[in-house]
Amino acid sequence: MSFTMKYEIIPKYLTCGTKRRSGIKIPSVKFLVAHDTGNPNSSALGNINYYENSKNDESASAHIFLDDKAIYECIPALTGTPEKAWHVLYNKTKDNELFGCNANDAAIGVEYCYGSKINSGEAYKRYVWVLAYTCYKFGLDPGKHITGHFILDPERKTDPKSGLAASGRTFEQLIKDVVNEYKTCSNSATLSPSQSIPSSSSPITIKAIFTSDNSIIEGILKDGSSHIPVSSLKEKLGDVVTWDNVNKELKVNNIVVDAYLKDGVNYISASGLTKLGHKITWDNANKKLYISK
């Protein structure tokens, strides 16, 4: 079973080993927590930049931010091995009552951006889709495994109810829409909570543009992330690409990278490019990836 990849999930990782991003892995994703930023008219990228600029100020974070323009991931969840984020207080007990674990240890946190300067229809569509896709990715039932921050911490929090209410929507409607989106995008009428779901989907062809000389190569969009041929890194950016035959590892500039093999060609993901220090910009409307050193 595959999932329709309507949007790019852009990795914009926070610095690892800081208060905002510890780098500690999530052993198993058990549920999702729906949030809103609580800061009307702040953008997804603006929130992430704030986190990065205050990376050692406090242990507060979330995995994904989205607005009417894009979906960004600042702590690995969908574009890399899932890590813990600090999005629900540990002294709250409702997460343990509902799911048998602490949200920070086992849940993906998704932040919804809203406000009069944000197109609520476009932002909401991305919110619904990414929640549905995250459920698909981790084999979760969207009708049972999504909760709201206001449910886990009712004394202090109202999100995402407040953000949704700004455009006349409710949390109950959000869950219904995510369930329907899941069914539509996965062509699935029902979902067993114990069902093991593959995280692959048919690749979509995209254009990758190297800003140094405006040269264009073909890449692919797979599992919510752009991929380009590893060989192009050597040709266009001067990277050193090697194969470690002993350990069966592909390395770029002596850094081990994950690659996707298609028709005899190794492809590296956008998250892999950022790991190498390259800068990427995604044009969702035209399905183009801009790459610079």
Angle of helix 171-186 relative to helix 120-138, nearest 10 degrees, comes to: 60
List the domain boundaries for the chain: 9-186, 204-292
Q: Which residues fall within 8 angstroms of residue 285, CB to CB, at 6 or more apart? A: none
Amino acid 38: pLDDT = 97
Lookup: tokens for 193: 């909570």
Is the pLDDT score of 270 beyond 80?
Answer: no
Query: Whole-model pTM?
Result: 0.69
pLDDT by residue (tens digit) across 194-216?
A: 333 334 445 677 888 888 888 88
Backbone φ and ψ of 35, nearest 5°: -125, 170
Does the domain spanning 204-292 belong to CATH 1.10.150? no
Give the chain's radius of gyration (CA, Å): 19
**Cα–Cα distance list, 271 to 100, 133, 206, 246 (Å):** 31, 18, 16, 25
Evaluate whether 80 touches 104 at the Cβ level (below 8 Å). Answer: no
Percent of the chain with pLDDT over 70: 92
Which of 96-110, 203-217, 252-266 ranks highest by mean pLDDT? Answer: 96-110
Amino acid 226: pLDDT = 79
The edge-to-edge listing of strands for the beta sheet with 241-244 is: 241-244, 249-252, 255-257
Is the pLDDT score of 287 beyond 90?
Answer: no
**What pLDDT band is residue 156 in, cutting at 50, 70 and 90?**
very high
Is the pLDDT score of 193 beyond 90?
Answer: no
Q: What's the N-to-C CA distance of the chain in angstroms?
A: 37
Amino acid 134: pLDDT = 97
Amino acid 252: pLDDT = 87
Distance CA 107, CA 282 (A): 27
Amino acid 168: pLDDT = 95
Average pLDDT, stretch 74-89? 96
Amino acid 191: pLDDT = 42
Is the pLDDT score of 1 beyond 70?
Answer: no
131 residue type, one letter: L
Partners of 246 in beta bridges: none
Distance CA 180, CA 201 (A): 19
Assign domain 9-186 to its CATH superfamily.
Peptidoglycan recognition protein-like (3.40.80.10)
Average pLDDT, stretch 42-53? 98
Average pLDDT, stretch 219-230? 80
Amino acid 234: pLDDT = 81
Amino acid 116: pLDDT = 96
Is the pLDDT score of 13 beyond 80?
Answer: yes
**Cis peptide bond prior to 11, omega within 30° of 0:** no
Higher pLDDT, 52 or 288: 52
Partners of 148 in beta bridges: 34
Amino acid 182: pLDDT = 95
The residue count for the chain? 293
Mean pLDDT, all residues of the chain: 88
